[in-house]
Amino acid sequence: SVYRKIMKYLNIIRHGESESSITPKNDFLRDLNDLGQYDLQNLNDYLVDQDFNKHKIICSTSTRTKQTLNLLKSSLNTESKIIFSQEFYLATFRKLIDIIDSEAKNSNMITIIGHNPGLSDLLSFTTGNYDLNDMPTSSIAQIEFYNRNIEGSYESSAKLNFFYTSKNSEIINL
């Protein structure tokens, strides 16, 4: 069999709170609201201590996810390679896995920035824990893969290292 580096860590980030969906704006173009920006700045300040190494970041092309990336870029390591994916917009967890899998070669860590319900479904599927909270806005979960070979399924193949959200000036451990 072929041996190569297999992704060990996946950071899953849900975008910050955005403008109301009842605005006349197209969903794809909705901006972060003030609270969403504030919560993400708070999360960024907290994540700086995590000392992320240079890695790949895959981000949905929606306005609010790109704004989320910009607010978290300094903590996620400004040297990281950024890939924008149109397919990430409102993707199912199976679609997310396909995209992640295609980028996982020779990557120790990948960060994804996207939308629910796909992100919450992905977190439950990979950890095998279907009792986890849905990912709130301005949240990050890090999972660590174990016992997974190149052709292995992602189902129940990871443990949750941390799951945080930023709300009301606090970092809450979920």
Nearest C-alpha neighbor of 166 from the set 35, 32, 39, 17: 39
pTM over 0.85: yes
pLDDT in tens, 30-63: 999 999 999 999 999 999 999 899 999 999 999 9
Structure tokens at 119: 């992100």
pLDDT in tens, 67-109: 999 999 999 999 999 999 999 999 999 999 999 989 988 889 9
Output phi, psi for 87, to 5 deg.
-70, -20
